[in-house]
Structure 1
Amino acid sequence: MIVNPILPGFNPDPSICRVGEDYYIATSTFEWYPGVQIHHSRDLVNWRLVKRPLDRASQLDMRGNPDSCGIWAPCLSYADGLFWLVYTDVKRYDGNFKDAHNYIVTAPSIEGPWSDPVYVNSSGFDPSLFHDDDGRKWFLNMLWNHRSESVGGNPKSPAFAGILLQEYDPKARRLIGEAKNIFAGSPLGLVEGPHLYKRDGWYYLTVAEGGTAYEHAVTMARSRRIDGPYELHPNVHLFTSKDTPDAPLQRAGHGQIVETPDGQVYHTHLCSRPLPGTRRSPLGRETAIQKCVWKEDGWLYPESGSPVPQVHVPAPFDVEPAPPQAVEHVFKGASLPAEFQWLRTPYPERIFTLTGSALRIFGRESIGSWFEQALVARRQEHHRYRAETEVIFSPATFQQAAGLTTYYNRHKFHFLAVTWHETVGRCLTILSCPGEWPDGRLSFPLTAPQPLPDDRPVKLAVEVKEAEQQFFYSTGGDWQPIGPVLDAGITSDEAGRGAHGSFTGTFVGMMCFDISGSGRAADFTRFTYIPEFG
């Protein structure tokens, strides 16, 4: 069986592509660098991260991008001996404008080399590229209408103004002909995330609707002509959890069709797993997949018979999912382990280096900066886990701090840090921002700084058990808890300004800031992530 989610933790907006026996899923990365995650599988059960293709300044520079901007909804496809990746770099979120710029990069293999980007348009986000069987290529994206007093979709909120279609000329590397609005969406509204699929002379259009929170849905329509008119699916929505608030997979929407070589049909979608008894999702929007069937009426339906997404889904082969395992990294190599990312900048040498014995992070701007924040972290993938690290750091001022953080964005984090205090010298402190939007004011849960002996290494740990988080430290003896039990639910999509205000997920990792400007560095010798802890 397939066990959903197949890509746990922050992995939204899945675009799936099959090449022979190989399946690839591309997901959004927003402000995290490098851009776009691509996972690979040969059985739809077990997946492995194989590439983040947007990894240099000529392709992507997100310095200054606000939280939850950056890379939205990539589309991955294969045609003409090339992989094609379409993506948006969103430069603004608040207010009426989005400034969403759409690009295409290509590569002969998933590993690359990936080309520099070709600019396509900026009329809206969530682009996709459809390769028709006559050789023509078609570019789709949602149309953003800034002339609205609200943010939403057609007909509820006219900012989401439909799905645009325009032909793309790969030789000229530009759009040609006129753009046409081919689909206004269903009455649910907020139409976005278009993907086309062709079968038996029909063009099938799947879109995301209802917003990416608890009204989310996959909506399907079809037409004999690529430019419409499109008729809605008899059930309108192929998948949704909006009417089943107790379903384990919530917020189902935004996905794509894929067929196996023997004709079995699946459809990806994003989802979330809220903390028990809450509507808070620290793991963010994850990737799931459902089995489908084509019926005699020519429409696609969930094999389960229900639009509510299933946790356990029949797999195309008899394969067992790999159990979660602890991952320990001792930073003695020359490259950063694959699961780690950083924020916004295409110049990682400015914020970290591998020394051969440690990951050295250079103190830059404050935690929460939109420009040059020195944070190296990995996704939280489980509701219960423990993470550990060891840091060597000698601060000389209270403006320098380094340590372990659970981080969502500048309004939602907890940070256990080695720092300096005028009366106690080197010490530990905790900085929290419990969803304080828009001003991002800090709280300091530790009533007094915890003194640290000399300059020896300090071990730091965090345990998260659903909505509760506890920090620990050690200077050579047993682990000691430090500070109160903290609210792990604040590092979630829904905390702060709400589920339509932030779209990523919780990371856990290593942070160093030096707002004195002297760039003092911290050495982290190891990092361990233990899933399903306690």
Structure 2
Amino acid sequence: MTLLHNPVIRGFAPDPSMVRVDDWYYVATSSFEWFPTIPIHRSRDLAHWEYAGHVRGAVPGDSLAGVPDSGGVWAPSLSWDGERFWVTYSVVRSVGTPYFDLDTYVSTATDVAGKWTAPRRVASHGFDPALFHDEGRLWLLNLQNDHRPGGRRFAGIVMTELDRETLVPLGDTHLLLQHDRLIEGPKLLRRDGWYYLVLAEGGTGWEHGVRVARSRDLTGPYELDDRPLLTTRDDAEVPLQKAGHGELVETADGQWLLSHLTARPLHTPHGPRCTLGRETAIQRVVWDAEGWPRLAQGGWHPAVEVDVPTQPWNPQLPPASAHLDWPWSTLREYPDPSWADTTSRPGWIRLRGRQGPESRWAQSLLAQRITEHRAEAEVTVDARPRSFTQAAGLVLRYDSEAYLSLDLTWTEPEDEPQRGQQWRGGGRTVLSLVERDEEGARQVAVVDVEAQAPVTLGVTIDDAEARFWYVRDGARTPIGPPLDFSRLSDDYGSRLRFTGAMAGIHARDLVDASFTADFRGFRLVSRP
């Protein structure tokens, strides 16, 4: 047995879909507006996970330009038919409206790290699709969305048979189940003559859970279990909250596991906030005398420590790469040498400034996931901004309405007011600390720095506080007051938010995209 510690994939790894292939376990997670699309991790012992690749080409044209925050690639479902991996997912282009404006796709590969087939669009009733392979037949499950006035956005679970080669629908779409409580994220399995429908229940926030229904016939009717398989909605003190969106997987020796999402909230004066987003966890499952799945530890609350039936395994760290691969992520597109260059100045990353930090189109941003409540990031930046429209620096980002940034930029001489660029070639090179929330952006602090020298920037995160600093005369020098890092969370503000806090580097040039900034020694360390 191996003891795992949940979450097993930490920091912005939501909607896990787990599959076992021989001795390997694979998990695909949502990527939303971030690239690489659909990260996939793998493990032999369920306790230690390594990045194994991603579904490259999941988005037609490799662009999510214009997609709103927390839109993009939602809830991939990974499966294995004995010969190849299948993945189905939705690209969601509207958030917070009756219309999801989405397309559902299917892609396949013989190796998760290899070449995935070009995505093919299939019936797109709603988001959170899944595939069920049954005796050579292929079925697509989905949420049904009723966008009409008075309709229910979560109007039941539907299923359509697809031709395995063409993916064309075969026959009618079947309505499997409707329920008074919100249900989504369907997964289907067969065991002991029953078809089990595993559902996400209650929405992906504090009311989240996993509910199971079953039927003797594939197309129903399905009977709901009278109790949840997993939830924390009844106890705010459970350390792993928001537990839901599960998938049942059988081990090689006939035992059962449940992968699910969860979150580790910070308890702040404003209420609980999940800065790390939703993460991936695993539980052991047993079957009761009536044939329903139950958590091995009893009840329906997720356990932090779980014994799983595997042999310990230590993943090998990937070799250092000069390329901008994982753990780097980018917004709405892959990094491209036209704006993210690692060759012009060896040992440095050169970013060409493009649009601003609230753009949905073309940001020059590289970021990595923050995986613990205590973390530190730093980087050295070398740049020559000549206008307030040019800036480069270190950023903590959740989305376009929630970020903290410390940037090297230009401002007017001390005796001149801020009235826009005055085109006289003067001015000061400064560090500008900005915080952004739903009420807008505010400049928190400004400090003059030497115009022609690189400067090292840093931030220390301690639970809900972020303290920015820079290096002056060889010592760390604080800039501005501690800032509220908890605003960079799923739970701050009035909008739907589904991702997680990231730390990274960025550059902007709002006039002609000619300004460049060089970065060296980016370091992000997360500490339990």
Normalised by the length of structure 2, the TM-score is 0.93
Following TM superposition, by how much is the alpha carbon of 1:80 offset from its aligned partner in structure 2, in angstroms?
4.5
2:240 aligned partner: 249
1:152 aligned partner: none
Distance, in Å, in 2 between the alignment partners of 1:94 and 1:406 is 24
Following TM superposition, by how much is the alpha carbon of 1:55 offset from its aligned partner in structure 2, in angstroms?
4.4
The answer (yes or no) to whether the contact 1:148–1:159 under 8 Å persists in 2 is no
Candidates 226, 230, 235, aligned match of 1:234: 226
1:433 aligns with 2:424: no
Candidates 480, 499, 507, aligned match of 2:502: 507
The answer (yes or no) to whether the contact 1:139–1:168 under 8 Å persists in 2 is yes
The answer (yes or no) to whether the contact 1:2–1:321 under 8 Å persists in 2 is no
Q: Given residue 421 of structure 1, which amino acid in structure 2 is its aligned partner?
A: T
Distance, in Å, in 2 between the alignment partners of 1:218 and 1:102 is 23
Q: Given residue 469 of structure 2, which amino acid in structure 1 is its aligned partner?
A: F
Following TM superposition, by how much is the alpha carbon of 1:59 offset from its aligned partner in structure 2, in angstroms?
5.7
Candidates 8, 13, 36, aligned match of 1:6: 8
Candidates 477, 484, 493, aligned match of 2:474: 477
Candidates 395, 407, 413, aligned match of 2:403: 413
The answer (yes or no) to whether the contact 2:16–2:245 under 8 Å persists in 1 is yes
User: Secondary structure, in 3 states, of the residue corresponding to 1:489?
Assistant: helix
1:99 aligned partner: 101
Q: Given residue 200 of structure 2, which amino acid in structure 1 is its aligned partner?
A: A
Counterpart mapping for 1:195-210 below 5 A: 195-210=187-202
Counterpart mapping for 1:168-187 below 5 A: 168-185=162-179, 187=180
The answer (yes or no) to whether the contact 2:507–2:517 under 8 Å persists in 1 is yes
The answer (yes or no) to whether the contact 1:56–1:346 under 8 Å persists in 2 is no
1:497 aligns with 2:494: yes
The CA deviation string for residues 303-337 of structure 1, in whole angstroms up to 9 with x for no partner, is 01110111111121353899xx9x998xxx54114
The answer (yes or no) to whether the contact 1:435–1:490 under 8 Å persists in 2 is no
The CA deviation string for residues 7-47 of structure 1, in whole angstroms up to 9 with x for no partner, is 11001111001000000000001000121110000011100
User: Secondary structure, in 3 states, of the residue corresponding to 1:43?
Assistant: coil
Q: Given residue 213 of structure 1, which amino acid in structure 2 is its aligned partner?
A: G
Distance, in Å, in 2 between the alignment partners of 1:519 and 1:122 is 42
The answer (yes or no) to whether the contact 2:490–2:499 under 8 Å persists in 1 is yes
Following TM superposition, by how much is the alpha carbon of 1:272 offset from its aligned partner in structure 2, in angstroms?
0.7
User: Secondary structure, in 3 states, of the residue corresponding to 2:285?
Assistant: strand
Distance, in Å, in 2 between the alignment partners of 1:432 and 1:462 is 13
The answer (yes or no) to whether the contact 2:137–2:164 under 8 Å persists in 1 is no
Distance, in Å, in 2 between the alignment partners of 1:293 and 1:80 is 25
User: Secondary structure, in 3 states, of the residue corresponding to 1:263?
Assistant: coil
2:417 aligned partner: none
Following TM superposition, by how much is the alpha carbon of 1:395 offset from its aligned partner in structure 2, in angstroms?
0.5
The CA deviation string for residues 125-151 of structure 1, in whole angstroms up to 9 with x for no partner, is 10100101x2101001101111145xx
1:284 aligns with 2:277: yes
Following TM superposition, by how much is the alpha carbon of 1:506 offset from its aligned partner in structure 2, in angstroms?
0.3
User: Secondary structure, in 3 states, of the residue corresponding to 1:54?
Assistant: coil
Quick one: percent identity of the two aligned structures?
39
1:161 aligns with 2:155: yes
2:370 aligned partner: 380
The answer (yes or no) to whether the contact 1:57–1:347 under 8 Å persists in 2 is no
Distance, in Å, in 1 between the alignment partners of 2:394 and 2:335 is 22
Following TM superposition, by how much is the alpha carbon of 1:475 offset from its aligned partner in structure 2, in angstroms?
4.4
Check 1:249–1:78 CA distance in 2 against 1; reply closer, same or farther (3 A cut).
Answer: same
Specify every segment of 5 or more residues in structure 1 that has no aligned partner in the other structure, as ranges.
150-156
1:135 aligned partner: 136
Q: Given residue 462 of structure 2, which amino acid in structure 1 is its aligned partner?
A: K
Moved more, 423-432 or 40-49: 423-432
The CA deviation string for residues 35-79 of structure 1, in whole angstroms up to 9 with x for no partner, is 111000001110011112134764642110000000100000111
User: Secondary structure, in 3 states, of the residue corresponding to 2:309?
Assistant: coil
2:454 aligned partner: 457
Following TM superposition, by how much is the alpha carbon of 1:181 offset from its aligned partner in structure 2, in angstroms?
1.2
Specify every segment of 5 or more residues in structure 2 that has no aligned partner in the other structure, as ranges.
414-426
Check 1:321–1:112 CA distance in 2 against 1; reply closer, same or farther (3 A cut).
Answer: closer
2:419 aligned partner: none
User: Secondary structure, in 3 states, of the residue corresponding to 1:166?
Assistant: strand
The answer (yes or no) to whether the contact 1:35–1:60 under 8 Å persists in 2 is no
Counterpart mapping for 1:345-364 below 5 A: 345-346=333-334, 348-355=336-343, 356-364=346-354
2:183 aligned partner: 191
Q: Given residue 48 of structure 1, which amino acid in structure 2 is its aligned partner?
A: E
The CA deviation string for residues 88-126 of structure 1, in whole angstroms up to 9 with x for no partner, is 100111321111110011111111111111110222110
The answer (yes or no) to whether the contact 1:328–1:529 under 8 Å persists in 2 is no
| RMSD over aligned Cα atoms | 1.9
Candidates 523, 526, 533, aligned match of 2:518: 523
Aligned residues: 508
Distance, in Å, in 2 between the alignment partners of 1:296 and 1:271 is 28
Check 1:55–1:361 CA distance in 2 against 1; reply closer, same or farther (3 A cut).
Answer: farther
Normalised by the length of structure 1, the TM-score is 0.92
User: Secondary structure, in 3 states, of the residue corresponding to 1:443?
Assistant: strand
Candidates 111, 117, 120, aligned match of 2:119: 117
Q: Given residue 324 of structure 2, which amino acid in structure 1 is its aligned partner?
A: L
The CA deviation string for residues 285-314 of structure 1, in whole angstroms up to 9 with x for no partner, is 111111110122111111011101111111
1:258 aligned partner: 249
